[in-house]
Amino acid sequence: MRILVVGGSGLIGAHVVDVLRERGHEVTTVARSAQPGVDHLLDMEVAPADELRKVLTGHDGVVYAARTDEQRALRKPIHPQFRRDIVEPVVRLFAAAREEGLTRGVVMGSYYTYWDRLHPELRLTERHTYIRCRVEQATEAREAAGPGLPVAVLELPFVFGRAGDRLPNWAPALDGWARSRSPLLAPTGGTAVTSARAVAEVAADALEQGSGEDIPVADENLRWGEMLERIATAAGRPRKARRLPAAVVRAALKLGGGLQALGRKESGVNPSHLADVLLADLFIEPASGKPLDAAIRETFEERPAARAGA
């Protein structure tokens, strides 16, 4: 098959490109900025339909692996901006893919949509604009694609791994904390985790099968404390995590949400309502059981260049 990978220079996109080529598929890459291995430069937020159709012509499938930052605080109302970032590019892409006769697609989504289905009582789409837009992204991408172009949505948790200098967007802050002398403090609850390589393999399977399903992806389910301890070990400063009381977490997040509100700002994941998520077991069952130690080390181990410059 010929597959177009949008966001092919990013962490997950680069792994998708590698896996597809290992399986004998022909791959074309699209990215916003010039990087080694990028075939087409295109800003998906503003790309018109005719430009999208040009890069899609002759392909069998398309993967949307562009990244967005759900934690950034924007001036209210934030929903229009998050739609421009998350929803509208995907709708335009799959409408153009349908016109060009593509027969399969994959969108890299979020495990928050999985949790929204399982726990409607948390009112995640009502309280968190990012999660609302992820649900809209999945629904509207499939509507734009139509029945002849099945779109699989991979519902991704924390993703470990590295592709050159490309890391998860949350990794630098945790890396600094893990290497510091500060104590590791972790709330109750936990999260599903996976690796960029595992995500790429699931994406390749979905393309080869022409899947149009929601696919939650997880290799392990970790308590927050266990995850922080494994990160600290990989960073070369192993130590135990201490329990952070739930009341402290709730108070701190409420304060953060209040400060945002005073500044007429809001994050995609609203701190005022984040405690119900953060203190829960955000697990995906069944997890694959594939060990993640190598991917965690790859994400957080000190690189030779960093040691040389120390």
Check pLDDT > 50 for residue 196. yes
As a whole number of angstroms, the distance between CA 82 and CA 283 comes to 26
Q: Which of 41-45, 94-98, 144-148 has the lowest mean pLDDT?
A: 41-45
Closest listed residue to residue 131, CA positions, set 238, 14, 274:
274
Instruction: Give this prediction's pTM.
Output: 0.94
Express each pLDDT in 228-280 by its tens digit: 999 999 999 999 999 999 999 999 999 999 999 999 998 999 999 999 999 99
- Residue that the structure tokens 């789409």 belong to: 125
User: Which has the higher per-residue pLDDT, 172 or 73?
Assistant: 172
SS3 201: helix
pLDDT of 258 reads 94
Confidence of residue 307 (pLDDT cuts 50, 70, 90): very low
* Sequence-distant (≥ 6) Cβ neighbours of residue 297 within 8 angstroms: 234
Q: For residue 197, what is the DSSP state?
A: H
Query: pLDDT tens, 79-88?
Result: 999 999 999 9
DSSP codes of every residue in 244-259: PPHHHHHHHHHHHHHH
| Residue 113, both tokens | 């949509």
pLDDT of residue 33: 87
For residues 248 and 262, what is the distance between their CA atoms, to the nearest angstrom? 21
Q: Are 13 and 44 in contact (CB under 8 A)?
A: no
Q: What is the pLDDT of residues 203-236, one digit of tens each?
A: 999 999 999 999 999 999 999 999 999 999 999 9
pLDDT at 37: 87
**% residues pLDDT > 90 (the chain):** 89
Cβ atoms of 109 and 116 within 8 Å: the answer is: no
User: Do 109 and 137 touch, CB atoms closer than 8 A?
Assistant: yes
* Signed CA dihedral, 201, 11, 117, 218: sign only: positive
Please state, in angstroms and rounded to a whole number, the distance separating the CA atoms of residues 95 and 42: 17
Q: Which residues contact 106 (CB under 8 A, 6 or more apart)?
A: 61, 62, 63, 64, 151, 152, 153, 154, 203, 206, 207
Cβ-based neighbour number of residue 208 at 10 Å: 14
Q: How many CB atoms lie within 10 A of CB 306?
A: 9
**What is the number of other CB atoms lying within 10 angstroms of the CB of residue 38?**
18
Render pLDDT for 28-40 as a digit per residue (tens, 0 to 9).
999 988 888 899 9
Q: What is the pLDDT of residue 36?
A: 85
Find the mean pLDDT for residues 41-46: 90
Q: What is the pLDDT of residues 61-73, one digit of tens each?
A: 999 999 877 777 8
Q: Are strands 151-156 and 104-110 parallel, antiparallel or unpaired?
A: parallel
What does the block give as tokens for 158?
A: 């924390």
Residue 309, pLDDT > 90, answer no
